[in-house]
Amino acid sequence: MADHVPLLQGSCFCQAISYAVSALPILSAYCHCTSCQRLTSCPFTHTMHFDASAFTWTHPEPHESQLDFYDNILKPYKRRFRCKTCGVGVASRNSNTNHISIWGATLDRNEDGKILGWDIAKPTAHQFYGTRMLDVKDDLTKWEGYQSKSNRLD
């Protein structure tokens, strides 16, 4: 069971749905793509990708009773899960890649509001920076698309 020890845990705003992941992220980045912008109504989001086998829902069973979902009409292989009570989306599943995306802002915090496991979760780049709504002055690399798979912009 050592590979199922949770490394990161999170929940929606009202905590009616919650999850744990037991592996390191395949990708962790600030995403400036137009889908993230429109789906979250934020200028950019912190997204992490994991192998789906590392992800489990941790709220009471049956998990589906608290879960709403939305299948992206532009990418029908992507299903976004959100809380039926507070409406916050916490994860999406890509059935093509068998990856789960989690949004870093939903991770559990300590009393000071700091994300638990930030060293594991923290972004390593800005992706889809070409469609950014604002410039970010930091030390992370900036990419037109995915990190190391597209043109670097800085």
Q: Which residues bind Zn ion (CB under 5 A)?
A: 12, 14, 16, 31, 33, 36, 83, 85-86
Cα 52 from Cα 54, distance rounded (Å)? 5
In angstroms, give the least distance from the CB of 11 to Zn ion: 7
Q: Which is nearer to Zn ion, 33 or 100 (CB)?
A: 33
In angstroms, give the least distance from the CB of 2 to Zn ion: 31
In angstroms, give the least distance from the CB of 35 to Zn ion: 5
Q: Which is nearer to Zn ion, 4 or 43 (CB)?
A: 43
Cβ-contact 22, 7 below 8 angstroms: yes
Q: Where are the beta strands (DSSP E) in 1-154?
A: 8-11, 18-21, 27-31, 45-51, 55-57, 67-71, 78-83, 89-94, 99-103, 125-127, 141-142
Joined together, the tokens standing for residue 141 give 């690399």
Q: Which is nearer to Zn ion, 12 or 54 (CB)?
A: 12
